[in-house]
Amino acid sequence: MVQSILQDNHYGHDLPLGVSLKVQDRLEGMAPDWPESPAAVALRELQQVAGEALPQDSAELFAALLAMEQGELVRLLAVCVAATVDVVTPRATAHQPGAELAQAVGLDMAAWWRPTADGYFQHVPKAAILEAVGAFAPSHAARLAKLKKADIASEAERLADGTGWMPAIFKTEGPEAAPQETQEQDAPEDDEAMADEPAEALAA
């Protein structure tokens, strides 16, 4: 895992054992701003720090891992495994993939993601944006209802900043809200895919 994730070495023929894993990258295709997100930056930093502390030679690496204290080894395992988690879905569903994992690690999406016009509001129907604005800035909902969707999305991004508001599909404590989001995001106006939480942040 260390050689595949942290050292860009996909061979390791001289290792005494083999572990097969796949680095997941579907999220970047659905969310182009993912590489600059707090979660992606934090994960890259964790990987860089972890990788720099380990030898490249297979025999030396194996010896170094054997000598590690268990807690340190488990943290290293988490950094490697995080890159293999994939809970990306193009539509909200009644049961979001990865919900149990998010609950197990206490994932708070508000710490890693914020709703923006490009990243969220432009991809849901106008009615859904106005409903969201009604939740975090109710005094502005009537004013925004008179605007075009692109302008509503931009204003929604500005008004949502700092409120901690999250779509229902991103709230691990409220899976019962997901079906409504399913109807909204499957509406004809929603032509572009939406991604579920950036699970790569779980290691952070």
Record the tokens describing residue 3, joined without a space.
């050689």
Query: What is d(CA 167, CA 176) in angstroms, rounded to the nearest whole number?
Result: 12
For residue 120, which phi and psi values (nearest 5 degrees)? Answer: -145, -60
Say if residue 102's pLDDT is above 60: yes
Rounded CA-CA distance 194/89 in Å is 7
The whole-number pLDDT of residue 187 equals 41
For the stretch 115-126, pLDDT in tens is 999 888 998 999
Write the pLDDT tens digit of every residue in 41-88: 999 999 999 999 899 888 899 899 999 999 999 999 999 998 888 888
Q: Where are the domains of the chain?
A: 2-82, 99-195
- For residue 184, the model assigns a pLDDT of 42
pLDDT tens by residue, 130-188: 999 999 999 999 999 999 999 999 999 999 999 999 988 777 654 443 334 433 444 44
Q: Copy the structure tokens of residue 188.
A: 């004809």
Q: Which residues contact 176 (CB under 8 A, 6 or more apart)?
A: none
User: Which pLDDT value is given to residue 42?
Assistant: 93
* 3 state SS for 83-97: CCCCCCCCCCCCCCC
Find, among 66, 98, 67, 112, the residue nearest to 169 by Cα.
Answer: 98
